[in-house]
């Protein structure tokens, strides 16, 4: 038994996934102090969060290749969390942020690359890499914000040649209000 979990909401009509808690089999066993050589004996074949999420997404989405948003409700990872906190401090972000005060980074920035390479971003990277055939080429952007004492990330997986729907929404409707 790995005690891995992958909890979230799959919202096909919005082409969105909202993850509320994930722990891969390997991460859970490491936290328990199980030696690496013993971990490999217990890892199931389907063992990455990105693959589990993809299989669940395919089971509910009529057009899985249209996935546009991957959100992480509460970032608690011991590597990702300090990175988000650093970016919030550096930008002078308040403890409670409205959506329109979010920080957004593309992969053309050092911050975007760092977030993409942090554990929570790696799941998105693997999802895009392993399921490129269905998803096509994407230009991911990540928005981070905090509220209710929690850190949040939303990846917008922009199809090549398309504009951000966040930008489209704001240009048509004004700032997003909570």
Nearest 5°: CA angle at 120, between 40 and 116? 110
Position 110 scores a pLDDT of 95
- Other Cβ atoms within 10 Å of 68 Cβ, number: 18
pLDDT of residue 23: 65
For each successive 10 residues of the chain (178 residues), what is the average pLDDT?
71 89 70 79 71 89 94 88 95 86 93 94 92 94 91 93 72 48
Spatial distance between the Cα atoms of 146 and 85, rounded to a whole number of angstroms = 9
What are the tens digits of pLDDT across the range 34-77?
A: 888 877 777 766 667 788 888 889 999 999 999 999 999 889 88
Q: Which pLDDT belongs to residue 60? A: 94
| Closest by CA position to 143, among listed 109, 168, 172, 106 | 106
Question: What pLDDT score was predicted for residue 51?
Answer: 82
- Cα–Cα distance, 143 to 147 (Å, whole number): 13
What's the CA angle centered on 64, arms 58 and 66, to 5 degrees? 160
């Amino acid at each position: 038994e790995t005690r891995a979990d992958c909890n979230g909401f799959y919202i096909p009509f919005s082409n969105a996934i909202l993850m509320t808690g994930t722990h891969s089999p390997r991460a859970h066993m490491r936290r328990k102090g199980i030696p690496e050589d013993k971990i490999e004996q217990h890892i199931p074949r389907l063992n990455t969060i990105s693959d589990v999420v993809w299989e669940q997404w395919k089971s509910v989405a009529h057009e899985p290749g249209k996935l546009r948003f991957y959100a992480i409700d509460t970032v608690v990872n011991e590597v990702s969390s300090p990175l988000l906190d650093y970016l919030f401090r550096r930008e002078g972000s308040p403890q409670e942020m409205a959506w329109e005060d979010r920080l957004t980074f593309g992969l053309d920035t050092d911050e975007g690359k760092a977030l993409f390479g942090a554990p929570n971003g790696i799941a998105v990277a693997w999802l895009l890499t392993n399921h490129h055939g269905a998803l096509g080429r994407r230009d991911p952007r990540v928005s981070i914000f905090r509220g209710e004492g929690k850190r949040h990330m939303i990846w917008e997986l922009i199809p090549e040649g398309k504009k951000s729907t966040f930008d489209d929404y704001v240009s048509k409707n004004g700032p997003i209000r909570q």
